[in-house]
Structure 1
Amino acid sequence: MTQGVTEQKELLTKLVEEAYDCHRAVLQPISPYMFEDRGIYRVDWEDGTSYVLRAFLADVTVELTNHAAVLDYLQQRGFAAPQVKRTSDGALLACYQGWTTLLVSFLEGEVADFALHSLSLLSGCAGRLHTLSHDVLAEAESARLPDSRLRPTQAASNAIDNLMRALPHVPEALHQFCEDAIAALQHVQQAQQARLLPEVIIHGDCWPGNAVRTRDGGISLIDWDGAGIGPAILDIGYLLLTCHLGKPQLPAMQADEQRIAAVVHGYCQQRRPSVTELSVLEDAVLYDVARRAGLEKLLSALSDGWTEEMWLQKLLARYCVSPEIAAFARRYFEQET
């Protein structure tokens, strides 16, 4: 552990003990990757309770407050998720020597796997989340609910603009991907703006890596920093794609019909997508890939050796398999009705 990271841990330990009136806190990094300007720690208190501390050496008050608002909303409605630990002064966040932090309860359990039963439980959990409110838009202001990272608002417009600017300059072999990414973003955005897609609280990063199998045999979602208001179909489209990440992505991803069926069945136990939602299912499966390609300007400055870029090949593998995943999923959704 570098000196900078050691000092970070010592400073954050002092922050926790002072801000939360804890006499002895033990911090252990959760992520294997350490950065001097941010960190995620498990915090064990002397009374045996455990928490997760998210800390940033920056003013991320808005982002962490949004995160906390979603978790408070879920707690009020009895949805199983980490709960915010307020400071001894009753604040949602703690600030100390330039650091801004959020402390939430630690959910005991093992990281979820890609077994069919786990995928069915996970999609059922997403389905319950999507049915918490009949009109979340009406509650948004009073509950201070943020937009999810997937909600097709200004960020989607920026992604579309970036892809359109990149299109004339990308290699010929990437033209179709770029055009299809633009089309997927536009279709979802247009449907959302026309209020054709039911908007709910969505997780925004729903996949087995962000879920834990609890001691009672159930499953709970963690890492809610991308959560907020958004079209339900984007959450399930994202899961339909990411449920394949437990298998090799290269040289090509293969649609796993059993995994897709498990996700669809679990979700339909709680909620059934509308006909309009299913009409944009293929776009929803591709949506996050397209969004990333646009927002991160991944196609704007490709080198001559772009065919050897691993990150791009994985992105293209997800793009290529998306239509087949969506076709299988739509068939299973229609069978569930």
Structure 2
Amino acid sequence: MTDTTAGFGLLTPELMLDALEHAGLRPDGRLLQLNSYENRVLLAHLEDGTAVVAKFYRPGRWTDAQILEEHAFARALAAAEVPVVAPLTLTTDGAVGTLGHFQGQRFAVTPRQGGRAPELEDPEVLRWIGRFLARMHDVGQAEPFHARLAWNSAAPARDARDWLRAQDTLPPELSANWHDAAARCIDAIDAAFDSLPDRRSLRLHGDCHPGNILWTPDRGPHFVDLDDAAQGPAVQDLWMLLSGDPDAARIQRDALLDGYESVREFDWRELRLVEALRTQRMIHHSAWLARRWDDPAFPLAFPWFGTPNYWSDQVVKLREQLEAMQSAAERF
């Protein structure tokens, strides 16, 4: 498996403090690690009594160009007064920008912004989130991403499947069944996207599930991170907010889109892409876990991954998704 943690072993508290000071900040020595599987994220207190959030990027995860596209999107959203925490301007090695470099590490710094999970059972909360996402998509359509991941075809699922095959990751007794189900799913995902050749593609949050939205009483919903920002259809930022129960999901969807369409038109045909996007995320997620298995945090957090039971369950779920995609194609 590919080791994407190379360099993280050198990321000591002392180095992180030195990096912040190198960028023109003055930390007082207090660091608190925040939850993040992908990167190393810390709350750093400064000598002036304020605090910032520092994110040190996982080596090999994103190119500089991809990170800078994310930062530019966040700043464009902030300039349009869409609630998002945008990266600060740093000066490292004489260069001024949002991406800092120090001793082989890349990092960004944002203001501290708290919040709690939104109450998605409340229709008014969903309408507010819908308006928030529509405003974000208004900014997102102004120009495309060029370097970041695109959810516009089955390419992410195909790349994930091909990587897993090359690494010979699966148990031998389940490999053929999983690859057969994945291949059939990839064909169905491509067919779903091909059925909407005139669909719109725009810059998105990309990983908009309830855990990635924070809520405050005065600001409502906001994002503190755009690490998975991507190009794709608007529905990619909507479907993960809906419950798995069909009746509850329908009520939530209608409230969410009621808020969305009070700001921006939604192409309802995109609903036929939801099961294709869900299937693609499943395949992509399996490869994401496998790629990071050399990071000690991952076996501790996901002890069930990679077991025969895991892959057997994935085969069942992918076959169920084939039926779900076929049903979606017939409904919409």
TM-score by length of 1: 0.69
2:68 is aligned to 65
* Partner AA of 1:84 in structure 2: P
1:158 is aligned to 159
Contact 1:149 1:227 in 2 (8 A): no
How does 1:33-182 map onto structure 2 within 5 Å?
39-56=40-57, 58=59, 60-88=63-91, 90-117=96-123, 118-132=125-139, 135-136=141-142, 139-140=143-144, 146-148=147-149, 150-152=151-153, 154-159=155-160, 170=174, 177-182=181-186
Change (3 A) 1:280 1:216: same
Shift of 1:113: 4.9
Shift of 1:93: 1.5
Alignment partners' CA distance in 1, 2:164 and 2:11: 42
Match of 1:276 among 246, 269, 276: 269
The count of corresponding residues between Structure 1 and Structure 2 is 298
Change (3 A) 1:122 1:256: farther
Q: Deviations over 1:176-232 (max 9, x none)?
A: 74355213431244357x3x2211221110011111111316111232111132211
Change (3 A) 1:161 1:308: closer
* Partner AA of 2:206 in structure 1: G
How does 1:310-329 map onto structure 2 within 5 Å?
313=313, 316-317=316-317, 320=320
Q: RCO higher in 1 or 2 (8 Å CA, sep ≥ 6)?
A: 2
* Alignment root-mean-square deviation, CA: 4.2
Structure 1 counterpart SS, 2:159: helix
Structure 2 counterpart SS, 1:150: coil
Structure 2 counterpart SS, 1:24: strand
Change (3 A) 1:68 1:319: farther
* Partner AA of 2:67 in structure 1: L
Q: Deviations over 1:94-124 (max 9, x none)?
A: 1111111111222221233553444554344
Contact 2:185 2:279 in 1 (8 A): yes
* Partner AA of 2:256 in structure 1: G
Contact 1:289 1:319 in 2 (8 A): no
Match of 1:266 among 228, 243, 256: 256
Change (3 A) 1:94 1:261: same
1:237 is aligned to 239
Structure 2 counterpart SS, 1:152: coil
Contact 1:163 1:294 in 2 (8 A): yes
Alignment partners' CA distance in 2, 1:306 and 1:5: 27
Aligned pair 1:257/2:244, yes or no?
no
Match of 1:16 among 16, 20, 26: 20
Change (3 A) 1:62 1:326: same
* Structure 1 residue ranges (4+ consecutive) displaced by more than 6 angstroms after TM superposition: 4-7, 162-166, 294-298, 321-328
Match of 2:280 among 287, 302, 309: 287
Alignment partners' CA distance in 2, 1:65 and 1:114: 32
* Partner AA of 2:73 in structure 1: V
Gaps of 5+ in 1: 245-254, 299-304
2:213 is aligned to 211
TM-score by length of 2: 0.70
Contact 1:151 1:231 in 2 (8 A): yes
